[in-house]
Structure 1
């Protein structure tokens, strides 16, 4: 009797377990999707399209918030690329194309160097801004002259960064033979990284030279003058040379307005610094993932 009861209890698990097959099928589907149809690549393509729209929209106000939005979108793109590089399928596709990976590693190292230098410049800009605010309160024209000189130097350094970034874009990443779509999306990421970086650096650099350009613009065609205005960033242009010269002759209310704009500009610079730091970290993470392709 006991054995019979025991046998009946053993026979229960032998009934068909219908949910097991759907679970197995779903599991296989989630881990064996080819790169061509992987949702991460589709997501990255959408993000790339949106970022290109961000940079090409002529109606966008050139503000610090606009720059920060571009940096945020760029960081998201590199985080998505990092996720794709972590896929086994991606490792399989790139592992046999060491030349492509080496080129990517070189490009990302140069991007990292550029954003490291950019962060140093932004920190210097923050220090110059604080010194300029003190000089404005004291109506010290000699200190303001030093600030204007520092901003001209800053513009030159930003121009050098633009040249460095553009040189990265002149040598496109070769497309891996095993997966053309993967190679194209990686190449597109490099391309938009160049575009966004140039836009950010040029926006800040042009803002520091906008006063001189505006006087020259009186002798130029309206179209050329319009392009020059669009390149600068509003908050930077509002604290121009004209508003800082001759502080001793300005009234108290006028000086207070200048200080207010300078304080607002300080907050904008902090936002740009934060956004660039996040891009910097995402670039490092992506390069580490590329190294893992070769070492694992």
Structure 2
């Protein structure tokens, strides 16, 4: 039976649907780039869409003891929108600062730099609040493990959290204290959902474009003389262009991912409402 065909029973691990799931999961786990992880997560959630179409999946998740887990999963999918908003807000500030740098007006540059740093602070606050809210939703709950497809969904929950954690960490981490804090959240979620945690490999660089920009601009505004600031304009412009390019790639990855996430979110909410 093909992957898109509905079934009245849960297929075994040898079934094409389960085999596709395992292949997508394997590729995602082997990805070292956040961009490839987003693509892998899109493929995985496309497969989840088919899992959620199975009548017995819907019946199992509609059971009262499973609804708490379904609510938690829906909240996790909402993290995609939070990431998209954070990227958009940062990109708008990047473009405003690039425009000011091209005009090379000292006072305007300083104002835009401060605006950028204030926006970054607000973005970090929003993301941290979202993680705290997710923590509240991640209380221990039972899930029916007798059906393999339900177990598969539990694995998707784990890997989805891991990818969003990696993405949001990329956006907000700018020092060891922040890294330690986020790792603490990750550890707590790991204990609460009791997953087979996905081994995330190191990003291609220990210092990402967001962090380099935060550090560079913080240093930029400490220069006392306008001449000193203008000497650094070309360097800052190059950093901003690299950051803008990175944001564009991440936005495209999230846009592709959002389609299956929206479908799965709707499916899960329909299950909760029946």
In the superposition, the TM-score normalised over structure 2's length comes to: 0.71
Shift in Å at residue 233 of structure 1?
A: 4.9
Within the candidate set 56, 62, 67, 1:98 is matched to 62
In structure 2, the gaps of 5 or more residues are 179-202
Shift in Å at residue 239 of structure 1?
A: 2.2
Structure number with larger C-alpha Rg = 1
The structure richer in helix per residue is 1
Shift in Å at residue 287 of structure 1?
A: 2.9
Within the candidate set 206, 213, 217, 1:239 is matched to 213
Contact 2:28 2:37 in 1 (8 A): yes
Rounded Cα–Cα distance in structure 2 between residues aligned with 1:239 and 1:281: 31
Change (3 A) 1:72 1:97: closer
Within the candidate set 1, 24, 28, 1:51 is matched to 28
Aligned match of 2:156: 189
| Counterpart check, 1:144 vs 2:116 | no
Change (3 A) 1:290 1:156: closer
Change (3 A) 1:42 1:127: same
Rounded Cα–Cα distance in structure 2 between residues aligned with 1:153 and 1:35: 46
Shift in Å at residue 131 of structure 1?
A: 1.5
In structure 1, the gaps of 5 or more residues are 1-25, 55-59, 61-65, 214-228
Deviations 1:139-188 (A, max 9, x none): 422331222222122222222233334455544560254x2x21211100
Change (3 A) 1:233 1:40: farther
Superposed, which structure 2 residues align to 1:243-258 within 5 Å? 243=217, 244-245=220-221, 246=223, 248-250=226-228, 254-258=232-236
Deviations 1:233-273 (A, max 9, x none): 52223323335333833486742232122122112112212
Contact 2:49 2:263 in 1 (8 A): yes
Contact 1:35 1:182 in 2 (8 A): yes
Shift in Å at residue 108 of structure 1?
A: 3.9
Aligned match of 1:280: 258
SS at match of 1:35: coil
Change (3 A) 1:233 1:45: farther
Superposed, which structure 2 residues align to 1:121-270 within 5 Å? 121-137=86-102, 138=104, 139=106, 140-171=109-140, 174-177=143-146, 179=147, 181-206=148-173, 209-210=174-175, 233-243=207-217, 244-245=220-221, 246=223, 248-250=226-228, 254-270=232-248
Rounded Cα–Cα distance in structure 2 between residues aligned with 1:142 and 1:77: 44
Contact 2:66 2:143 in 1 (8 A): no
Give RMSD over aligned pairs.
3.5
Report which stretch shifted further, 35-44 or 99-108.
Answer: 99-108
Aligned match of 2:11: 35
Q: Aligned pair count?
A: 238
Rounded Cα–Cα distance in structure 1 between residues aligned with 2:176 and 2:95: 21
Rounded Cα–Cα distance in structure 2 between residues aligned with 1:235 and 1:162: 22
